[in-house]
Structure 1
Amino acid sequence: MKLPMGSLPPAPAGTGGRLLDGIRVLDLTTSIAGPYATLLLSDLGADVIKVERPGTGDDTRAWGPPFLAGHSLWYLGVNRNKQSITLDYSTPEGLAALHKLVRHCDAVVVNLVPRVQRKLKVDYETLSALRPDIIFCSITGFGLEGERADKPSYDLIAEGYSGIMDITGEADSPPQKVGAPAADMLSGMDAAMAIIAALFQRQRSGMGHSIDISMVESMTRFLTPRIMTYLGSGEVPRRTGAKDSVIAVYQSFETADLPLTLGLGNDRIWQRFWDAVGHPDYAQDPRFSSNAKRHALRPEIVARIQELLLEKNRNEWLRLFEAKGIPCGPINRIDEIAADQELARRGFFYQMEMGGIQVPQVGLGIAIDGHPASPRSAPPALGADTTTVLRDLAGLDDEQINTLRNKSII
């Protein structure tokens, strides 16, 4: 079978993403949130050392099917630009090696609950004693303190706690999870942002910092507009499907063939829309002169728009609306957005060589000085850099490394 990635361009060339040159990050995380945080840092130029369990490695290495040439695509998606070492730091010898690495790193990222952090001696108090200016970042479900601090969590759990599932889906449907690991990705972005801010402040003060990222809080903050409307009005938001509960016309519609999205977010766009569809007088009706009035009469307006849009196919409407400056768009399937030529042209989707095979990648989506971030290396094989890192950075000699290997510590 010909894979969709076969049409992707090669990785973008250039020097974009070198803003964190000289910063070294020790990544003790697994799954998605932590590895995504360190992926963002690595795309911006940081050197990331990924510490994995001997034998099995990051949990995501087993997340499949589907696999690509035996590699988990979940793993491949969030681990480029990193070095991988295997190290069992639950053993005294492994912990000693880990602590040597900490002394040579600017930041450490962990995703263990506080009790386990302390048990394994990878908590902030322990690591800051080794390097006082360390930037320590903990990503957990509920944060480093409080009665829920030691509860385990996954993206699904955080989404449920946050309220996002209760307001996602059609009004008569059960609660729905977001179609991607939203809490993981958001908390990963928060972690990367906070680490960069802490590194910036450290340049001034020379001080280290402990960063506490809660997946539940990252996901809940995503709901700020909805929570604010409840706090200030007492009105509990409900599931409304592909439409907004505040802007009068902000939703999906059917056309003669495929659905589209339409956002009539202000009075000027409201007028332009009705001009475009050939009914300018409808926009001038005093009953619809403000968003508040349109909100009150939304069922009537939506029914009228839906009736009109069924007269032509989606692409005809999109061409018309785009020409008139009306916010609109298709509802793409994943295969359609992955084949989007403009995103590929901008360097957002690409493929790169890894051990004799080509692997797809989803880019950073941030251009620096006019250039997309160019990857330095493909996602690493498990433990591919163990010997090099332990020798060159931790200062272990060949005999010590072989001893660790013989004990299955690496």
Structure 2
Amino acid sequence: MSQLEKLPRMQGNEGLRLLEGLRVLDMTTSIAGPYATQLLADLGAEVTKIEKVGGGDDTRAWGPPFLDGESLWYLSVNRNKASVTLDVSRPEGQAILDDLVLQSDVIVLNMVPKVQQKLGLDFDRLHALNSRLIHVSLTGFGVSGARSALPCYDLVAEGYSGVMDLTGEPESGPQKVGTPAADLLAGQDVALATLAAVIERQRTQVGKQVDVSMVASMVRFMSPRIVPYLGSGDRVTRSGGRDSVIAVYQVFDTADDPITLGLGNDAIWARFWKAVDSAEYGALEKFRTNAARRDARSEIVAAISEVLKTRPRAHWLALFAEYRIPAGPINRVDQVVADPHLLDDGLFYAVDGEYGLVPQVGLGIKFDGQSAVHRRPPPTLGQDTVRVLQERLGIQEATLANLRNEGIV
């Protein structure tokens, strides 16, 4: 039985309805924008994904791996949406989009300003069309400034932010974060900013221009590193799994598998040494403060390493849980998805898609104890074109047939 077949099954349901009635046009591609609109969709918004005729979202081609012909990257950030194919570069397509804009609350784009203007999707034009529309741009460098026209991917944003320079072992070169961190953080910022703009619109009845930059989002993520540098002038360098501020905050080997261990305050420090039957060592005056322990870090790390290598990981994790000491395993992805606590929480599940089972990672946020967000699987390309254009715009079948023949939809 495959890992996919082992996942709990989830049926489509009403899901969360916090944003019910909010209509969002998703004109983004790749990861950051679709992740943002999936968050809104998970919370109950009606998200209509506008895709290129023939090809669709770029991530549909990102693979292998593919599942039943669909990219698993695409499937990770597009549930609870409808897919409409539309060529907005042609007058007929732009006219249809304008009609959808008139009915929508939010539009999310990941196009640089020049492309927005070329396609008639810039804030000024769409605001004139629908003054209540919240216009959200998600770009690499923002919609203004010297870099606003530059293309950007997650890798580029991570490099600009400084996070790559601080990731990895001291003796190695810079490393990218193991998940598209800039994409996901910027996507969360889009969802957050959209909701803030929706709340303001309740007071003003006027839409907003929202500008989210992947680089800015990623730089803000670096605040706990940047602010200490600005205040002290001390430049932080790569420290691998070891924190540069907390005296003991790193990975240690045990008799079998490694663990993470964070002794972040004086009380935890004392409990750790009590747990390993060396309370006297932990009580030494030279280890009284975190600053003092930082000065003696090499000695402390050597002492802890010697202790932890005597027993297997399971022993230490059980003991540290008893003494309330922050510690944990270093899981591989296959171990993460088998975690019984996460499975019980409904974080991993499978649903019936157009061609078979589709794996998903849930929202992980609960509202009144409810976190089941699934209403529908990620759509196949153009799956909802006819339904959306008929139901929302009243376009007749004969007209739709002509639009299809012309390659407009």
Which range, TM-score by smaller chain?
Answer: over 0.9
Once the two structures are superposed, the pairs formed by residues 20-99 of structure 1 within 5 Å of their partners are: 20-99=19-98
Once the two structures are superposed, the pairs formed by residues 352-367 of structure 1 within 5 Å of their partners are: 352-367=351-366
| Residues 5 and 182 (structure 1), Cα distance of their counterparts in 2 relative to 1, 3 Å cut | same
Cα offset, 1:398, TM superposition = 2.2
Q: Return 5+ residue gaps in structure 1 as ranges.
A: none
Cα offset, 1:16, TM superposition = 4.8
Cα offset, 1:396, TM superposition = 2.1
Cα offset, 1:371, TM superposition = 1.0
Once the two structures are superposed, the pairs formed by residues 208-357 of structure 1 within 5 Å of their partners are: 208-357=207-356
- 1:203 is matched with 202
| Residues 139 and 261 (structure 1), Cα distance of their counterparts in 2 relative to 1, 3 Å cut | same
Contact kept in structure 1, 2:14 and 2:374, CA below 8 Å: no
**CA deviation string 1:338-395 (max 9, x = no partner):** 1111111111111100014111100000011111133100000100110111122133
Cα offset, 1:400, TM superposition = 2.3
The letter of the residue matching 1:106 is D
The DSSP-based 3-state class of the residue aligned with 1:194 is helix
In 2, the alpha carbon distance for the partners of 1:226 and 1:199 equals 32
The letter of the residue matching 1:257 is D
The DSSP-based 3-state class of the residue aligned with 2:210 is strand
Paired residues in the alignment total: 409
- 2:121 is matched with 122
In 1, the alpha carbon distance for the partners of 2:267 and 2:15 equals 39
In 2, the alpha carbon distance for the partners of 1:250 and 1:227 equals 19
- 2:400 is matched with 401
**CA deviation string 1:171-220 (max 9, x = no partner):** 00000000000000000000001101111111121110010000000011
The letter of the residue matching 1:406 is N
The DSSP-based 3-state class of the residue aligned with 2:254 is coil
The DSSP-based 3-state class of the residue aligned with 1:305 is helix
1:106 aligns with 2:105: yes
The letter of the residue matching 2:381 is L
**CA deviation string 1:230-278 (max 9, x = no partner):** 1001111110001110000011100011000001000000000000001
In 1, the alpha carbon distance for the partners of 2:127 and 2:234 equals 46
Contact kept in structure 1, 2:247 and 2:293, CA below 8 Å: yes
The DSSP-based 3-state class of the residue aligned with 1:372 is coil
| Residues 135 and 329 (structure 1), Cα distance of their counterparts in 2 relative to 1, 3 Å cut | same
In 2, the alpha carbon distance for the partners of 1:15 and 1:25 equals 18
Contact kept in structure 2, 1:108 and 1:134, CA below 8 Å: yes
Please give the TM-score of this superposition, normalised by the length of structure 1. Answer: 0.98
Cα offset, 1:15, TM superposition = 5.2
The letter of the residue matching 2:236 is P
Cα offset, 1:14, TM superposition = 6.7
The letter of the residue matching 1:204 is R
Q: Return 5+ residue gaps in structure 2 as ranges.
A: none
- 1:142 is matched with 141
The letter of the residue matching 2:144 is E
The DSSP-based 3-state class of the residue aligned with 2:393 is coil
Cα offset, 1:280, TM superposition = 0.2
- 2:158 is matched with 159
The letter of the residue matching 1:219 is M
In 2, the alpha carbon distance for the partners of 1:144 and 1:113 equals 7
Contact kept in structure 2, 1:32 and 1:184, CA below 8 Å: yes
Cα offset, 1:10, TM superposition = 1.6
CA root-mean-square deviation: 1.1
Contact kept in structure 2, 1:16 and 1:368, CA below 8 Å: no
The DSSP-based 3-state class of the residue aligned with 1:311 is coil
In 2, the alpha carbon distance for the partners of 1:18 and 1:79 equals 18
In 1, the alpha carbon distance for the partners of 2:270 and 2:158 equals 38
**CA deviation string 1:51-89 (max 9, x = no partner):** 000111000001000111111100001000000010010
Q: Which moved more, 1:347-356 or 1:388-397?
A: 388-397
Contact kept in structure 2, 1:8 and 1:351, CA below 8 Å: yes
Q: Which moved more, 1:389-398 or 1:197-206?
A: 389-398
Contact kept in structure 2, 1:136 and 1:210, CA below 8 Å: yes
Contact kept in structure 2, 1:14 and 1:371, CA below 8 Å: no
In 1, the alpha carbon distance for the partners of 2:365 and 2:210 equals 24
| Residues 238 and 154 (structure 1), Cα distance of their counterparts in 2 relative to 1, 3 Å cut | same
Cα offset, 1:119, TM superposition = 0.7
Once the two structures are superposed, the pairs formed by residues 348-387 of structure 1 within 5 Å of their partners are: 348-387=347-386
- 1:194 is matched with 193
| Residues 182 and 357 (structure 1), Cα distance of their counterparts in 2 relative to 1, 3 Å cut | same
The DSSP-based 3-state class of the residue aligned with 2:380 is coil
In 2, the alpha carbon distance for the partners of 1:15 and 1:385 equals 18
In 2, the alpha carbon distance for the partners of 1:11 and 1:175 equals 40
Q: Which moved more, 1:139-148 or 1:197-206?
A: 197-206
Percent of aligned pairs with the same amino acid: 55
The letter of the residue matching 2:62 is W
Cα offset, 1:105, TM superposition = 0.6
Please give the TM-score of this superposition, normalised by the length of structure 2. Answer: 0.98
Cα offset, 1:12, TM superposition = 7.1
